[in-house]
Structure 1
Amino acid sequence: MMDSSELAELCQQINDKIFATRTILELRTVANEEDKQNILVKMGKDIFAINGLLDTLETHVFQQQDLLNGLKELEEFFQEDLHDGYHLRDNMPLHMPRKGLQTANTLTQSQQDQVHHVEEQNLQKKPTRPQIREMVYITTEEFESIPQYMKGRMTYSQLNAAVQSINTAVKEKYSIVQQPAKTLTNVTRRLHQRFKDEETKDTKGHFFVVEADIQEFTQLKLDKRFKGMLSMLRHCHRLRELRGAGLTRYILL
């Protein structure tokens, strides 16, 4: 059984249809008058024009949404860089000259001895591990230079999100490669061995990943869309492909 609200809604729908039918009949009567036909034709053209404006507005809204998403991602990158900057500021070595502080000429003898001691310790340290290379993010100018057939519906923010994922895979992989063997777990030991097996004389001195690394360390899907991203990154000289032994190695440039 219908309650009162459902019955009222049904009555309203019936009344709306009756009103619409009555309006159509009245318009048909008016349309038979020649002087009114020109007005109806003009109204029809105005309606089509309004529909076109609404389509244009909708397109701009979607573009602004993509731009907003890109700005949010850039803000996250900025916050990470800001955090790193604060960390560097708060952990500056004692021997590094600082603006507004004492110079070597005004330091006391004990302070100079302390600086020399720190410098000697730094010289005696074992060579540091090579810094893990990361892919530089795509600029807006570079993105605009990519041919449209290659970009398709890919947005600027989506392409840089792929750059970030590949950088994550590179950092995770080489943090294991550079890890001392005695600190490896069973899982990382297997990964370490696979990484070594995939190296060739052509990859020596370079940082690279394969699709298995991307699957292991990121949520990036290795589908047709991913292949398109790789083409754009090659176009922007961010990486190159090296094939061999059944593998495709993506080498960072």
Structure 2
Amino acid sequence: MVNAMASSSLEDLCLYISLRISNIKKCIILRDLGKHDSCKRFLHKICNEGILVHELLQAMEIQVKKQEELKKSLKEIQKSAERAQKEAWHLLEHMPRYLPKPLQVCNVEPTVKHKEETKAVEPKCEKKPAKGRAIKEVALITTEEFENVPAYMKGRITYDQINAVVEEINKAVVDKYKILYQPLKSMSAPVRNLYHRFIEEETRDTNGVFFIVDNDIKQFTKLKLDKRFYIMLSILRHCQRVREIRSSGLVRYVIC
């Protein structure tokens, strides 16, 4: 058994030495190939191929660096987009209840004379400013303006409540002046009575301004003219949304 083990170790050692000798011979052969004219052409071609491979590796390295920079830039854009998305969702979830509305305009077409008769045309209301008479409305109170209102004046009144009153006042203003801009012949008897009341309430001081009175608020809105309502009117005066003209025992709320 000892002889077998010794034989195995000797064979392995011989194989190892033979492999090394073979490698040495290959190196000597490859070294001497350059001396043969028949091999120089192949060696030159191999050299050129090596140069091309080297240039290709350099170009690939440049592209890899560009891709890494692009990846870094895309990550920054992604982070910026994610921040913008979060801000957009925050704005969407906290959208103000009251936003400014486009100015409402009522166009009254001129009367058309035909066969010595005048044909009354119903007024057409449009949202875009165009030819016709614009109805001025109260601008909504901003959060900054509401915060600057003195605490003693606001009491427990909230931002939403004050702008809800603004919308109701605007409804009264629009409904009133739609009637005033309507041809008289097209009015029903109740509407004609309102028209004459509107005319009687005008004075020299109201020339060229838009205003309503308490009766208009009762007529066109569901607001209660209680103490709380008049406190809100004082806030609107403070924010320069309305002003008052008093004469003949009547208070006129002028739209600023």
TM-score by length of 2: 0.51
Cα deviation, residue 200, structure 1: 0.3
- Residue in 2 aligned with 1:160? 163
Say which SS state the counterpart of residue 204 (structure 2) adopts.
Answer: coil
Confirm whether residue 203 of structure 1 aligns to residue 227 of structure 2: no
Work out the CA distance in 2 between the residues paired with 1:224 and 1:181: 37
Larger relative contact order (Cα-Cα within 8 Å, sequence gap ≥ 6): 1
Which structure has the highest helix share of the two? 1
2:113 aligned with 1:131 = no
Among 212, 217, 222, which residue is 1:219 paired with? 222
C-alpha distance 242-229 of structure 1, shift in aligned 2 (>3 A) = same
What SS does the corresponding residue of 1:73 show, helix, strand or coil? coil
How many Å separate the matches in 2 of 1:182 and 1:209? 24
Where does residue 154 of structure 2 map in the other structure? 151
The aligned counterpart of 1:172 is: 175
Give me the whole-angstrom Cα distance separating, in 2, the residues matched to 1:153 and 1:139. Answer: 17
Matched, 1:192 2:195: yes
* CA drift at 1:179: 0.2
- What amino acid is the match of 1:230? L
Paired residue for 2:3? none
Q: Distance in 2 between matches of 1:158 and 1:226?
A: 10
Q: Secondary structure at the residue paired with 1:173?
A: helix
Q: Amino acid of the residue matched to residue 182 of structure 2?
A: Q
Partner of 1:246: 249
Cα RMSD, aligned residues only? 2.0
Q: Distance in 1 between matches of 2:228 and 2:95?
A: 22
CA contact (8 A) 1:134 1:170 kept: yes
2-side partners of 1:129 and 1:212: how far apart? 27
Moved over 6 A (4+): none
| AA matched with 2:147 | E
The counterpart of 2:97, out of the listed 73, 76, 83, is 73
Structure 2 residue aligned with 1:18: none
In structure 2, the CA distance between the partners of 1:71 and 1:161, relative to structure 1 (3 Å rule), is farther
Query: In structure 1, what is the Cα distance between the partners aligned to 2:132 and 2:142?
Result: 30
Return closer, same or farther for 1:211/1:129 CA change in 2, 3 Å cut-off: same
Give CA deviations for 1:126-185 in whole Å, capped at 9, x if unaligned: x94320001100000000000000000000000000000000000000000000011111
* Separation (CA, whole Å) in 2 of partners of 1:128 and 1:193: 26
The match for 2:239 is 236
What is the aligned-residue identity percentage?
51
2: CA distance between counterparts of 1:131 and 1:199?
Answer: 18
Does the 8 Å contact 1:135/1:163 carry over to 2? yes
CA contact (8 A) 1:239 1:251 kept: yes
Unaligned runs of at least 5 residues, structure 1: 1-69, 85-126
1:140 equivalent to 2:164? Answer: no
The SS at the match of 1:206 is coil
State the SS of the aligned residue for 1:138.
Answer: coil
Q: Unmatched 5+ residue regions in structure 2?
A: 1-93, 104-129
Q: CA deviation at 1:71?
A: 5.3
1:73 Cα deviation from its structure 2 partner: 3.5
Q: Tell me which residue corresponds to 1:183.
A: 186
Q: 3-state DSSP class of the match of 1:249? A: strand
